[in-house]
Amino acid sequence: MAKVTYEKEITALLVIDPYNDFISEGGKLWDRLKGVAEANNCVPHMLQVLNVARVAGLRVFYALHRQYRPGDYEAWKYIAPVQKAAWAHRTFEYGTWGGQIRAEFEPKPGEIVATEHWCSSGFANTDLDLQLKKHGIHKLIVIGLIAHTCVEATVRFAAELGYDVTMVKDATADYSDEEMHAALDVNIPNYASAIVTTKEVVDSISSL
Amino acid sequence: MAKVTYEKEITALLVIDPYNDFISEGGKLWDRLKGVAEANNCVPHMLQVLNVARVAGLRVFYALHRQYRPGDYEAWKYIAPVQKAAWAHRTFEYGTWGGQIRAEFEPKPGEIVATEHWCSSGFANTDLDLQLKKHGIHKLIVIGLIAHTCVEATVRFAAELGYDVTMVKDATADYSDEEMHAALDVNIPNYASAIVTTKEVVDSISSL
Amino acid sequence: MAKVTYEKEITALLVIDPYNDFISEGGKLWDRLKGVAEANNCVPHMLQVLNVARVAGLRVFYALHRQYRPGDYEAWKYIAPVQKAAWAHRTFEYGTWGGQIRAEFEPKPGEIVATEHWCSSGFANTDLDLQLKKHGIHKLIVIGLIAHTCVEATVRFAAELGYDVTMVKDATADYSDEEMHAALDVNIPNYASAIVTTKEVVDSISSL
Amino acid sequence: MAKVTYEKEITALLVIDPYNDFISEGGKLWDRLKGVAEANNCVPHMLQVLNVARVAGLRVFYALHRQYRPGDYEAWKYIAPVQKAAWAHRTFEYGTWGGQIRAEFEPKPGEIVATEHWCSSGFANTDLDLQLKKHGIHKLIVIGLIAHTCVEATVRFAAELGYDVTMVKDATADYSDEEMHAALDVNIPNYASAIVTTKEVVDSISSL
């Protein structure tokens, strides 16, 4: 793959759902993600990309799923299966460790945490698009969880809304290789202009 | 699967991209879709669902991709791969047969044609959400093309925006079984509350 | 004015920015609003409408402005005058009394608080539209502050997005009669299908 | 007023509804607009701004109201007063002279015509936001009709969505001085970072 280049002023890192429930030992979904995540070194890769982005001065944004709170969904007349599951498992429960961002990924001052999303896309019903525009961002480097739901949804919405997307394929994970494949090989190639490894993107960012 | 039921006042049929280029002999993409489309009787199934919806008095909406016009994309600074492909092939070219709706699917008076979409989702940058609200619609029955791009994107956006979705799995098609599988078995089950056959949905609609 | 009627299932009360900074003695903007607010009994009227809506079982939604937090706006490249003012005055500051909802207007369980808005419209960059759809709402009765900014903006967006709006003209206030006039007499009549008094809307709701 | 400066790459001219029905002798609404429009030289000013923008190489965008077509609005359950009026008068009727752009304002190749809007905001339910992002635009210079409805709505939405706005106050018009005042003096100053005369903006653009 040809080297991907970025202009610092218009490029941001977007970190999706780095919650303990997803990526920390003891998290509600870690056991289901662990196989794929450990095989591709997902968490160390995410950290590597985050750290190099910070050093290079790229703006960092966080897209975070709704932390479950009592009452959520109860009066909804229409509810998608992915939301029913979040409700049943109280995933990312507000006020619990599982609903907190894994410590190493804690946002630093000046990093932007978008309002929480209710389904999968970090853009839907949130201020992410606004915040990106307010900071002059047009290109997104995407890392995080999980590949075929929140990550793919956010990449799709980013493209639909006019952003250029780079997907870091070994800084994400999923419940199975089949779901990783559906996201990374079948669908995201239609919407992300580049799909790269952590090593490739770290090289690109380091040279900024 | 349990029988799916609908309330006529709040349910609509959504037909996605029934262009000649996709589903008619001689269309630019028909040769690539034909294998899957003929195996599951996609086009006759789409027609069956459309006809029964009309008889039952369900409101019908169309989500249509941008018909290629000269100048499109040329000055865009950021362009997704799926848009580059549409540009290269001049898919659904305005003023050509391929960019017309296949004759049997021609909208009738009172049916709503949403403004064209530029990427894959029938909702992004269009008036589809507005038109659905203006008609009081909350539930969508989805048919059309192609499964892992426009159909999946539209289903995902529908769920993100608050709609209840039924996907008719043999009234869609794709370039390969692998892409059908990614859309119908891996991703859409997270966003559509029901995935049914033409026979099942026709039974449900007929009983309205 | 002819009696306005509502269907309970699809109608909600929308309360805009009932913050102490706006409507409580000692709030940062109360002195500027007080003249108009006391002349039309704004706060007692707001309470009257809220209480009758609760008794009638109408769903209640809150649209709340961003509570100022340190760091807000600092890195924005583009910032509207109304946002510059909010920044300068730290209006609705997070963690302060002024940034809290006035006690009598505190949301009750089952009432929906939309995510905060950054400018004036309760819909822009928030989950308000989603929450309304999830509860099947198509008609909004609007009360709150302040008439020519957040209220007018929210009414305009509601109409643009497909909602039917009733504006309660003596359950809002502004800095001056001129601004009230611009909002209530010049602009909102284009977007709200009814502009009523508290007495009128209370009668309508009571008969549900 | 201090001189306003623009960076060519991120600034666009946005022309709102330059239809014959609004600004040409014989147009359905010209008689109602004429008094204000002739007093401030609205049409010559609009042309002056458009021409200098073209010479300077600023990208030009058009936000156009829905051209009335038979069937429009008929099945809508909810309809705003401004839409009822458009329906009653068949304003900008498709296929008629009144629904055409006044000749001198005809878009040139490379200029972007957003999809039509159904209410007042050029952004709501259209591809205007997408097109602006695809061209890298963050700043808008706004001219067109009419001040307190489509122009104010579009300026408000632009600010809500993150754009920087300059309003050209003598390149717009309205039915009355009161409505001009509500838009230009009361409301738009909260959302546009600059409100300038044609002379001022022409000077700024000329120096690019």
| Nearest CB to C133; choose among B130, B134, B161 | B161
Q: Where are the alpha helices (DSSP H) in chain A?
A: 20-23, 30-39, 42-56, 81-89, 128-134, 152-161, 177-181, 198-206
Is residue D1 predicted with pLDDT exceeding 60? Answer: no
Residue that is written with structure tokens 């004015």 in the block: C1
Q: Average model confidence (pLDDT) for chain A?
A: 97
A195 pLDDT band, cuts 50/70/90, is very high
Residue A82 contacts residue B190 (beta carbons within 8 Å) = yes
Most distant pair of Cα atoms in chain C: their distance: 51
**Residue B208 pLDDT greater than 90, yes or no:** no
Query: What is the structure's pLDDT at D4?
Result: 79
Burial (Cβ within 10 Å: 0-12, 13-18, ≥19) of residue A5: exposed
**C-alpha distances in Å from residue C1, one per residue of C167, C197, D82, D112, D161:** 13, 10, 19, 44, 36
The model's confidence at residue C4, banded by pLDDT at 50, 70 and 90, is: confident
- Statement: residue A4 has pLDDT above 90: no
Mean pLDDT over residues D94-117, rounded?
98
| D162 vs A130, A160, A163: nearest CB | A130
Q: What is the pLDDT of residues C175-186, one digit of tens each?
A: 999 999 999 999
Testing the interface with C: which of B126, B133, B139 to mutate, by most C Cβ within 10 A? B133
Per the CB < 8 Å rule, is C80 touching D193?
A: yes
Q: What would the pLDDT profile of A55-88 be if each residue is shown by its tens digit?
A: 999 999 999 999 999 999 999 999 999 999 999 9
A206: buried, middle or exposed (CB in 10 Å: 19+, 13-18, 0-12)?
exposed
Which tokens go with C2? 């002819």
pLDDT per residue over C16-69, tens digit each?
999 999 999 999 999 999 999 999 999 999 999 999 999 999 999 999 999 999
**Can the peptide bond before residue B146 be classed as cis, meaning omega within 30 degrees of 0?**
yes
Give yes or no for residue A2 having a pLDDT over 60.
no
140-199 in chain C: CB under 8 A from chain D: 148-149, 152-153, 156-157, 159-165, 178-179, 181-182, 186-187, 189-193
**B2 has pLDDT over 60:** no
- Confidence at residue B182, expressed as pLDDT on a 0 to 100 scale: 98
Q: In what order do the strands lie in the sheet with B194-196?
A: B112-113, B59-63, B11-16, B139-144, B164-172, B194-196
Q: Decide if C129 touches B, using CB distance below 8 A.
A: yes
Which of C6, C116, C160, C180 is best to mutate for the D interface (most D CBs within 10 A)? C160
Write down the pLDDT at residue C83: 98
With 70 as the cut, is the pLDDT of residue C133 above it?
Answer: yes
Phi, psi for residue C192 in degrees, rounded to 5: -95, 135
Amino acid letter, residue B174: D
**Which amino acid is present at B128?**
L
Residues B123-170: tens digit of each pLDDT: 999 999 999 999 999 999 999 999 999 999 999 999 999 999 999 999
Render pLDDT for B45-70 as a digit per residue (tens, 0 to 9). 999 999 999 999 999 999 999 999 99
Q: Is the pLDDT of residue D2 over 90?
A: no
CB-based contact D67:D96 (threshold 8 Å): no
How far is A100 from A116, CA to CA, in rounded Å? 13
* Mean pLDDT, chain D, integer: 97
Measure the CA angle with vertex D62, ends D56 and D66; round to 5°: 170
> Is the Cβ of C84 closer than 8 Å to some Cβ of chain B?
no
Q: What is the pLDDT of residues D121-153, one digit of tens each?
A: 999 999 999 999 999 999 999 999 999 999 999
Answer positive or negative: Cα dihedral of C133, C139, C143, C148: positive
- What ipTM, to 2 d.p.? 0.97
For residue B1, pLDDT beyond 60: no
Provide the angle, in degrees to the nearest 10, between the axes of the packed helices C152-161 and D152-161: 90
String of DSSP letters for B111-162: -EEPPPBSSS-SSTTSSHHHHHHHTT--EEEEEES-IIIIIHHHHHHHHHHT
Going from the C-alpha of D207 to that of each of D5, D15, D165, the distances in angstroms are 9, 21, 19
* Neighboring chain D residues of A161 at a CB cutoff of 8 Å: 129-130, 133
Indicate the pLDDT class of residue D5, thresholds 50, 70 and 90: confident
Residue C124 in 3-state DSSP? coil
Helices of type H across chain B: 20-23, 30-39, 42-56, 81-89, 128-134, 152-161, 177-181, 198-206
pTM of the model: 0.98
Q: Give the pLDDT score at A3.
A: 65
- The pLDDT confidence band at residue C3, using thresholds 50, 70 and 90, is low
Closest Cα of chain B to D128: distance in Å?
Answer: 8
Average pLDDT, chain B: 97
Ramachandran region, residue D195 (left: φ > 0; alpha: ψ -120 to 50; beta: rest): beta
Q: How confident is the model at residue D178 (pLDDT cuts 50, 70, 90)?
A: very high
Q: Which of B36, B190, B193, B195 to mutate to test the interface with A (most CBs of A within 10 A)?
A: B190
Set of chain D residues whose Cβ sits within 8 Å of the Cβ of B127 = 115, 118, 125-126
